[in-house]
Amino acid sequence: MSADQNRNHDMSQTDIALLLADAADEVEIGIAPVQAVIRGGRRRRARRWAVATVMALVVAGSTGALAVTGLPGGNGDRGAVVATRSPTAEERHVYEPQRTELARGTYRGKEWRAAVELWGAPRNQAEAARQFRAMDKLGLEPAEVHKPADLIGKVSFFVTRAYGDHRPQQVMFNTVKKLERFSGTDLEAVATRLGYEPESSGRLVIGIVASTAQQVKCTWKDGTSIVELPGRAAGFPMSWFVCVAPEGTSYRSAEVIQ
């Protein structure tokens, strides 16, 4: 092999290494945001969610670095280690939550809306302070949080209902470090009002069920009932459902029937 051929061979290996490094630099490795659910419906038993780590390539040890070894014609003991960056606060939804509209309708000529949002866990005091201000600006009050530092390492979710031009109000919420697990027929729900008139109290029902639940039956105080299909919300591994009682009655119970 001539000297020119040797140079070309070395350049091709270098090019391959650089291409692999560029590709690895674009891969984000980290822990997916934890999702939490409220405790305090029919089920009071503590539950935990497993936190999943999603990786697109093989990770070397626990350092979060990618090992590139054994290039053609190279020394397998001489791998190039490529560092990867952690997801930013914006990518973790620390300052702007993931929002999903659960349902909407009309009551006495004005629109009502139900939505859920999930806020990622701040990792330090600066992130927590900024998240605390963002929540306060929206009129949200996280559970058992008295100062920004109480948010560090915790995720928050809020279920809100809005009517007409009024500011959305939180009706279900929690701020926790670990997730609870919903399975089988587990269900938690809250009954709130559609509008602001007393007669609309208890007509809007919002609840959480396991992701495997296919049908939820809501029963009203007049003995009638309806069946709703649960749906998924961004960032949540469980499903949500919304039931609306007919005029003149209100919420009695809810159960997973399939």
> CA-to-CA distance for 93 and 111, rounded, in angstroms?
28
Task: Specify the higher pLDDT residue, 51 or 91.
Answer: 91
Examine residue 239 and state whether it is found in any structural domain, yes or no. yes
Query: Is residue 228 situated within a structural domain?
Result: yes
Domain with 164, as residue range(s), is 98-256
Question: Do residues 64 and 84 make contact, with C-beta atoms less than 8 angstroms apart?
Answer: yes
Q: Does 42 have pLDDT greater than 80? A: no
- Taking CA atoms, 154 is separated from 109, 151, 158, in Å, by 40, 5, 14
Is residue 114 in a domain?
yes
Q: Please give the DSSP secondary-structure letter assigned to residue 52.
A: P
Task: For residue 22, tell me if it sits in a domain.
Answer: no
25-34, 45-54, 69-78, 188-197, range with the lowest pLDDT: 45-54
Task: Tell me what the mean pLDDT of segment 46-61 comes to.
Answer: 28
- C-alpha distances (whole Å) from 135 to each of 96, 128, 139, 148, 170 are 9, 10, 6, 11, 11
User: Which helix H or strand E contains 174, and what residues bound it?
Assistant: strand 169-176
| Number of domains comprising the chain | 1
Q: Is residue 3 part of a domain?
A: no
pLDDT of residue 81: 52
Reply yes or no on whether the pLDDT at 133 is more than 90.
yes
Residue 154: inside a domain = yes
List residues bridging with 106 in a β-sheet: 111
Closest CA to 154 of 118, 196, 108, 189: 118
Residue 21 lies in a domain: no
Query: Is 163 inside any structural domain?
Result: yes
Work out the widest C-alpha separation in the chain, in whole angstroms. Answer: 93
How close are the terminal C-alpha atoms of the chain, in Å? 72
| 31, pLDDT greater than 50 | no
Q: What does the alpha-carbon distance between residue 250 and residue 244 come to, in Å, rounded to a whole number?
A: 9
Q: Residues 87-123: pLDDT tens digits?
A: 999 999 999 999 999 999 999 999 999 999 999 999 9
> pLDDT for 197-237, tens place per residue?
999 999 999 999 999 999 999 999 999 999 999 999 999 98
- Within the chain, where are the H helices? 3-25, 125-137
